[in-house]
């Protein structure tokens, strides 16, 4: 019997990242017979200059991970430069810079170590866990960027300002015109008595079909139906706040392809999960606003929703709206994240946060497929 596909294909969903400069190619003139010594010297000189490698964002992320153990305490974050398609690694001294350059990335010497920035985040967690705030390490500016949404005012805003000022050059404060909130409400794809969300990635666990969506969705809804009202699944796990992912087991005989709906009659196949990289260009698919693109702006982000604090998130400038919750953040065939929440909308823009898919898979024991 042919499996029935759920209405609207499953949208698959979306901490400090990575970037670098592309080195200009060295062009050698043809040496003529009267200049053998000069040509040899030129060749030796060119060989001694480290070449910056042209990389995809996932490849840059893998290179950054390989470099981290070699740099030790000299590592200070990294990010991907999409313009030049290369990796930039922040370091604290010239010795670490040479290690980075020898690996084919660009080194930038900065003032703040990862340990110092982690200390700033710890101070924020202890003294400034205020609903309506978020923070994430930005390797491009070498600071922890703290954002306060429009609900933070009066004494709370004054307190936040004092804490950030006390961190000096390690942090900066920004304002958002929107309100940080989980994106649960309208949408298409999956529904229940508590609202409507977007399906994330289809996965397999112990040989059985499941799907991932946002944890704040599974906290509100335990039995899931498709847009026609047929029940398709029941919660197996739910995690929110702290993290934001839920695992749902299929209970109906329906098609569950490993792909993302592109809302143009086609889909993107998903074959793997990958870590996000700061500077990486990503795409989000959700049942309310469909498909939008943007850039990863931070990793290991913390957002203080009214419902509780969630940490370890991917921060982006991709727009999203209520009902997009649980939907996919991806880069090509790689699953990156599950839509958690944020501020703004797809008219004015805003900030958005995503639960890393790799963490959700690890915690649930599921696999993309």
The residue ranking higher by pLDDT, 192 or 235, is: 235
Q: What is the pLDDT of residue 196?
A: 83
Q: What is the pLDDT of residue 10?
A: 37
Q: 109 pairs with which residues across the strands?
A: 91
Architecture of domain 4-15+182-368: Beta Barrel (2.40)
pLDDT at 332 over 90: yes
Q: What is the pLDDT of residue 84?
A: 93
Residue whose C-alpha is closest to residue 320's, from 303, 338, 306: 338
pLDDT at 316 over 70: yes
Q: What is the pLDDT of residue 201?
A: 94
Whole-model pTM: value is: 0.80
Question: Given pLDDT bands bounded at 50, 70 and 90, which one contains residue 68?
Answer: confident
| Mean pLDDT along residues 273-293 | 95
Cα separation, 118 vs 298, whole angstroms: 14
Q: What is the pLDDT of residue 265?
A: 82
Percent of the chain with pLDDT over 70: 84
Cα separation, 297 vs 48, whole angstroms: 34
pLDDT averaged over every residue in the chain: 85
| Mean pLDDT along residues 186-204 | 77
| Mean pLDDT along residues 168-189 | 77
Q: What is the pLDDT of residue 49?
A: 54
Strand order in the sheet with 75-81: 75-81, 86-91, 106-109
Q: What is the pLDDT of residue 15?
A: 34
**Each residue's pLDDT tens digit, 184-194:** 443 346 788 76
Q: What is the pLDDT of residue 11?
A: 36
Catalytic center residues: 216, 244, 325
Question: Given pLDDT bands bounded at 50, 70 and 90, which one contains residue 7?
Answer: very low
8-state DSSP, 169: G
Q: What is the pLDDT of residue 106?
A: 95
Q: What is the pLDDT of residue 5?
A: 43
pLDDT at 126 over 90: yes
Q: What is the pLDDT of residue 48?
A: 54
When mean pLDDT is compared across 85-94, 183-192, 276-285, the lowest value belongs to 183-192
The residue ranking higher by pLDDT, 7 or 272, is: 272
Cα separation, 186 vs 120, whole angstroms: 37
The three-state secondary structure class of 256 is coil
Cα separation, 236 vs 241, whole angstroms: 17
Q: What is the pLDDT of residue 107?
A: 95
Question: Which stretches of 85-167 are DSSP H helices?
Answer: 94-102, 114-127, 154-166
When mean pLDDT is compared across 6-15, 127-136, 289-298, 316-325, the lowest value belongs to 6-15
The residue ranking higher by pLDDT, 75 or 48, is: 75
pLDDT at 250 over 70: yes
Q: 171 pairs with which residues across the strands?
A: 144
Q: Are the beta carbons of 257 and 40 closer than 8 angstroms?
A: no
Q: What is the pLDDT of residue 253?
A: 86
Please report, for the chain, the start and end positions of each structural domain, with discontinuous segments joined by +: 4-15+182-368, 36-109
pLDDT at 44 over 50: no
């Amino acid at each position: 019997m042919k499996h029935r596909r759920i209405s609207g294909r499953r949208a698959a969903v979306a901490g400090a990242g990575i970037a670098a400069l592309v080195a200009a190619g060295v062009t050698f003139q043809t040496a003529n017979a009267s200049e053998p010594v000069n040509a040899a010297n030129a060749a030796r000189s060119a060989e001694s200059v480290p070449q910056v490698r042209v990389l995809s964002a996932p490849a840059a992320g893998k290179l950054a991970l390989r470099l981290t153990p070699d740099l030790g305490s000299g590592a200070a974050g990294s990010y991907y430069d999409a313009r030049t398609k290369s990796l930039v690694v922040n370091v604290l001294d010239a010795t670490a810079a040479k290690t980075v350059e020898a690996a084919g990335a660009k080194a930038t010497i900065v003032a703040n170590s990862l340990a110092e920035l982690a200390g700033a985040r710890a101070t924020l967690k202890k003294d400034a866990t205020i609903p309506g705030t978020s923070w994430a390490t930005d390797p491009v500016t070498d600071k922890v960027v703290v954002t306060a949404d429009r609900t933070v005012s009066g004494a709370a805003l004054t307190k936040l300002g004092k804490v950030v000022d006390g961190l000096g050059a390690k942090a900066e404060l920004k304002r958002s015109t929107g309100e940080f909130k989980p994106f649960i409400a309208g949408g298409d794809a999956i529904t229940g008595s508590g609202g409507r969300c977007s399906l994330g990635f289809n996965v397999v666990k112990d040989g059985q079909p499941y799907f991932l969506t946002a944890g704040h969705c599974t906290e509100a809804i335990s039995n899931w139906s498709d847009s026609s009202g047929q029940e398709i699944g029941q919660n197996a796990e739910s995690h929110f706040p702290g993290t934001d992912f839920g695992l749902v087991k299929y209970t109906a005989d329906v098609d569950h392809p490993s792909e993302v709906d592109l809302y143009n009659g086609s889909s993107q196949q998903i074959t793997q999960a990958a870590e996000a990289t700061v500077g990486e260009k990503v795409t989000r698919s959700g049942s309310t606003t469909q498909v939008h693109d943007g850039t990863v702006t931070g990793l290991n982000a913390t957002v203080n929703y009214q419902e509780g604090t969630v940490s370890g998130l991917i921060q982006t400038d991709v727009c999203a709206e209520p009902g997009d919750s649980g939907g996919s953040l991806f880069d090509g065939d790689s699953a990156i994240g599950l839509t958690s929440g944020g501020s703004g909308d797809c008219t004015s823009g805003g900030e958005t946060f995503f639960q890393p898919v790799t963490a959700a898979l690890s915690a649930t024991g599921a696999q993309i497929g």
